[in-house]
Amino acid sequence: MAILEILEFPDPRLRTVAKPVVEVDDRVRTLIDDMFETMYDAPGVGLAATQVNVHEQIVVIDVSEDNSEPLVFINPEITVLDEEIFKYDEGCLSVPGFYESVQRPRHIRVKALDRNGDSFEIEPEGLLAVCIQHERDHLLGKLFVDYISPLKRNRIRDKLEKQHKRQA
């Protein structure tokens, strides 16, 4: 397994729309394992393949306190089940150090493939539902900063660009 480089905002590669996975094979399973290792190391609760510059529809999530509930979503499709909005302070491994309040549907249905290519469906609520929607946005080339005001988004962009220049 390997720890992969996580792209950071405003890297334009984060805006790439991911393509569906055609076949779940050993290459995809190795990527999934590397994504989990990268996410746990960061540390985070979710990671989309887009964030590690692989533009395929793969998401890994683990919202447990002890990293004991790893979930894999390949080619996830989301249906909103309840229009009730859940407001949550979101952060992102691609926007390190920043948290902003984002509103998302509280209850969703997700259809996806697991790490073996088997189809499954779940109906999460609350934090897991928010996390799945956040990671699915990455596959569509969207970031949580797209939900906040342009002023806040530009301020975050400027701070991260300065940080990247200092590190270079």
Binding-site residues: 92, 134, 138
Residue 16 pLDDT more than 90? yes
Determine the pLDDT at residue 35: 98
Catalytic residue (choose from 5, 125, 135, 161)? 135
- pTM of the prediction? 0.96
Collect all residues with Cβ–Cβ distance below 8 Å to 80 and sequence separation of at least 6: 105, 107, 108
The pLDDT tens digits of the residues spanning 96-148 come to: 999 999 999 999 999 999 999 999 999 999 899 999 999 999 999 999 999 99
Beta bridge partner(s), residue 64: none
- Give just the sign of the alpha carbon dihedral 127, 105, 102, 110: positive
Binding-site residues for Fe cation: 92, 134, 138
Is 84 one of the annotated active-site residues of the chain? Answer: no
Determine the pLDDT at residue 168: 82
C-alpha 150/C-alpha 154 separation (Å) is 6
